[in-house]
């Protein structure tokens, strides 16, 4: 048994040096007759944030996945549909439904098991509990423990054993430890070491007669490799990276599919009926495309969420350039999306200055050139803040901008970072907070900045009226647009795109950071 395992591992690591989609592992021992093998098919998805197709309908879509699943199940009756986590958040739909729309979709396509992704905790543990109660499938969570009970969170199972034609297959779930800090699981949920947990799970599953062990994980690839090295798992069905990855470590292959069901992984475990151990593995990655018909039984979900899906799919315009909507970028420096939003605010409200805090700009992705839909706009500005116009003196405007850059060197992603229009400034983040702006000018007809002059600012009510992200200084401003009559931020930006039809915003250097420029020069030397 030990020798056989080593032989399999060698074969595996050799096989995986090829970047292929299909692989068969031939153990060195004599081939078993085919009738002694039990085939168990694992269908894999991970990081699925919307059930509708993506990329303008060309890829993904859970209705198509259901069609594929039914076809595969006809050929291979021992089929399990697995989700390696991240589905409840983030998405535009989840702003309204908090992930319930995804649970509906998973129930409709007959998901068997899911592991928690880090994003499952984004709305807090209570909301996740509700989603779990709505789930017709089982959640597996060996290392996500409720401190009060010592058991997996929310009644999830640490593992499950399924029997197919007399062979037992064990599955267990593992989630990123960093979920503790990157999401909102609350103080009562702890995340145990994936490696140690995996070791315990394998011992437990083997002792219960399951010689074939599947780890359903939502970990980084390096952690998956560690799990494969420290525990005798046969295959890792993983997620989190959002790109197609096939690796191997410790003799176990590790699979991760593209996000949003662009591909369906089909992993066939050929298990010996005599020993119950995996003899070989075949796999392929099936692109989920518009060539695959929707399963009709999914129509009920499309009807239930039809109104919002139709609204989100509306074409607003096009971008001919990549739109930088990644959080870290918009919270540390000028971005083309920040410029476009601030410009739109200023133009729509007829103000001297446009201003938005980087933390109000979401999406957290690079949006590729092409068609822009309502979904894109709402993913960038999901909060439905109002765009108000206030009047302040120049000194207050300067203070607000100083506040905006006061944490740029100190925090990794300070939400207060100002994206601006109508004004240009240079700052040095190595200077004391409050006196970092070394140069400030207006971009209008009169570029001279005057601390005593009155300026109007178009900005969101979150920072202008609620003092959000610490912008209390703006509260002293005179409100020129009543909040209830002010337009929504997403509507303002949407209208600006509709008006221009084709946008190509570019960073024009309205915000300059001196210390970074210095650093880059030094790095280059």
Question: Footprint of Zn ion on this chain (CB under 5 A)?
Answer: 86, 117-118, 240
CA dist 38 and 44 (Å) reads: 19
Q: Which is nearer to Zn ion, 108 or 259 (CB)?
A: 259
User: Smallest distance from the beta carbon of 90 to Zn ion, in angstroms?
Assistant: 10
User: Smallest distance from the beta carbon of 99 to Zn ion, in angstroms?
Assistant: 14
Task: Order the strands of the 315-319 sheet from edge to edge.
Answer: 370-373, 315-319, 502-503
**For the chain, the helix, strand and coil percentages under 3-state DSSP, each to the nearest 5:** 35, 30, 35
Euclidean distance between the first and final Cα of the chain, in Å? 57
CA dist 483 and 486 (Å) reads: 5
The set of residues, in sequence order, having a beta carbon less than 8 Å from that of 521 and lying 6+ positions away, is none
Q: Which is nearer to Zn ion, 85 or 468 (CB)?
A: 85
Closest by Cα among 208, 258, 212 to 233 = 212
Buried b (16+ CB within 10 A) or exposed e, 44-60: bbbbbbbbbbbeeeebb
User: Smallest distance from the beta carbon of 414 to Zn ion, in angstroms?
Assistant: 23
Closest by Cα among 505, 469, 512, 485 to 356 = 469
Residue with smallest beta-carbon separation from Zn ion: 240
User: Smallest distance from the beta carbon of 223 to Zn ion, in angstroms?
Assistant: 12
Count other Cβ atoms within 10 Å, centred on residue 153: 27
- The answer to whether 32 touches 274, Cβ cutoff 8 Å, is yes
User: What are the C-alpha distances in Å from 351 to residues 343, 348, 482, 494?
Assistant: 10, 8, 15, 18
User: Smallest distance from the beta carbon of 86 to Zn ion, in angstroms?
Assistant: 4
User: Smallest distance from the beta carbon of 54 to Zn ion, in angstroms?
Assistant: 17
Q: Which is nearer to Zn ion, 117 or 394 (CB)?
A: 117
CA dist 159 and 173 (Å) reads: 7
The set of residues, in sequence order, having a beta carbon less than 8 Å from that of 312 and lying 6+ positions away, is 92, 93, 373, 374, 375, 378
User: Smallest distance from the beta carbon of 94 to Zn ion, in angstroms?
Assistant: 14
User: Smallest distance from the beta carbon of 134 to Zn ion, in angstroms?
Assistant: 21
Residues counted in the chain: 525
- The answer to whether 357 touches 462, Cβ cutoff 8 Å, is yes
User: Smallest distance from the beta carbon of 68 to Zn ion, in angstroms?
Assistant: 24
Q: Which is nearer to Zn ion, 140 or 423 (CB)?
A: 140
Residue 295 corresponds to which tokens in the numbers above?
């399963």
Q: Which is nearer to Zn ion, 118 or 379 (CB)?
A: 118
Q: Which is nearer to Zn ion, 16 or 221 (CB)?
A: 221
Give φ, ψ of 28 to 5 degrees. -75, -20
What is the phi-psi region of residue 331: left when phi exceeds 0, alpha when psi lies from -120 to 50, beta otherwise?
alpha
Q: Which is nearer to Zn ion, 240 or 403 (CB)?
A: 240
User: Smallest distance from the beta carbon of 364 to Zn ion, in angstroms?
Assistant: 12
Q: Which is nearer to Zn ion, 86 or 489 (CB)?
A: 86
User: Smallest distance from the beta carbon of 391 to Zn ion, in angstroms?
Assistant: 44
User: Smallest distance from the beta carbon of 176 to Zn ion, in angstroms?
Assistant: 7
Q: Which is nearer to Zn ion, 118 or 332 (CB)?
A: 118
CA dist 299 and 311 (Å) reads: 17
Residue 343 corresponds to which tokens in the numbers above?
């410009």
Q: Which is nearer to Zn ion, 218 or 513 (CB)?
A: 218
Q: Is 431 exposed, middle or buried (0-12, 13-18, 19+ CB in 10 A)?
A: middle
CA dist 189 and 95 (Å) reads: 24
Residue 422 corresponds to which tokens in the numbers above?
């109508």
User: Smallest distance from the beta carbon of 258 to Zn ion, in angstroms?
Assistant: 14
Q: Which is nearer to Zn ion, 168 or 240 (CB)?
A: 240
Q: Which is nearer to Zn ion, 227 or 356 (CB)?
A: 227
DSSP label at residue 359: G
Q: Which is nearer to Zn ion, 86 or 260 (CB)?
A: 86
80-83-86 Cα angle (round to 5): 175
């Amino acid at each position: 048994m030990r020798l056989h395992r080593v032989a399999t591992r060698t074969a595996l690591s050799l096989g995986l040096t090829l970047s292929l989609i299909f692989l068969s592992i031939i153990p060195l021992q004599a081939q078993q007759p085919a009738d002694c093998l039990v085939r168990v098919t694992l269908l894999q998805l991970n990081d699925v944030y919307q059930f509708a197709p993506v990329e303008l309908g060309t890829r993904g879509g859970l209705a198509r996945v259901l069609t594929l699943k039914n076809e595969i199940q006809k050929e291979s009756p021992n089929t399990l549909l697995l989700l390696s986590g991240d589905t409840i958040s983030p998405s535009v739909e989840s702003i309204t439904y908090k992930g319930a729309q995804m649970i509906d979709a998973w129930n409709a396509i007959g998901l068997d098991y899911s592991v928690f992704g880090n994003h499952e905790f984004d709305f807090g543990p209570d909301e996740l509990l509700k989603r779990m109660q709505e789930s017709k499938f089982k959640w597996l969570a060996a290392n996500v423990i409720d401190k009060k009970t010592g058991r997996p969170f929310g009644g999830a199972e640490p593992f499950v054993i399924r029997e197919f034609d007399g062979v037992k297959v064990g599955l267990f779930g593992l989630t990123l430890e960093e979920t503790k800090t990157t999401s909102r699981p609350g103080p009562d949920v702890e995340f145990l070491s994936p490696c140690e947990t995996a070791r315990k799970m394998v011992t437990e599953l083997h002792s219960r007669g399951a010689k074939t062990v599947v780890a359903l994980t939502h970990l980084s690839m390096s952690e998956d490799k560690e799990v494969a090295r420290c525990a005798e798992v046969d295959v890792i069905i993983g997620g989190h990276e959002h790109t197609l990855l096939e690796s191997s470590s410790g003799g176990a292959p590790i699979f991760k599919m593209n996000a949003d069901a662009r591909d369906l992984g089909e992993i066939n475990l050929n298990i010996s009926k005599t020993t119950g151990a995996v003899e070989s593995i075949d796999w392929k990655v099936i692109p989920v495309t518009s060539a695959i018909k929707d399963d009709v039984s999914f129509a009920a979900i499309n009807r239930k969420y039809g109104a919002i899906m139709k609204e989100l799919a509306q074409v607003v315009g096009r971008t001919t350039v990549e739109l930088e909507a990644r959080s870290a970028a918009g919270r540390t420096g000028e971005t083309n999306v920040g410029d476009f939003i601030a410009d739109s605010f200023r133009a729509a409200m007829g103000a001297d200055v446009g201003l938005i805090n980087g933390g109000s700009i979401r999406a957290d992705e690079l949006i590729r050139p092409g068609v822009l839909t309502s979904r894109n706009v709402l993913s960038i500005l999901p909060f439905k803040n109002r765009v108000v116009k206030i009047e302040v003196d120049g000194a207050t405007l300067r203070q607000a901008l100083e506040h905006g850059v006061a944490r740029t060197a100190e925090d990794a992603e300070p939400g207060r970072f100002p994206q601006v229009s109508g004004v240009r400034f240079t700052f040095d983040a190595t200077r004391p907070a409050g006196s970092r702006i070394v140069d400030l000018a207006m971009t209008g007809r009169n570029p001279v900045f005057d601390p005593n002059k009155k300026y109007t600012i178009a900005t969101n009510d979150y920072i202008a009226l609620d003092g959000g992200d610490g912008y209390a200084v703006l509260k002293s401003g005179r409100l020129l647009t009543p909040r209830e009559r002010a337009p929504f931020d997403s509507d303002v930006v949407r209208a600006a795109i509709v008006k221009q039809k084709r946008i190509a915003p570019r960073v024009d250097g309205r915000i300059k950071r001196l210390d970074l420029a210095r650093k880059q020069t030094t790095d280059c030397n």
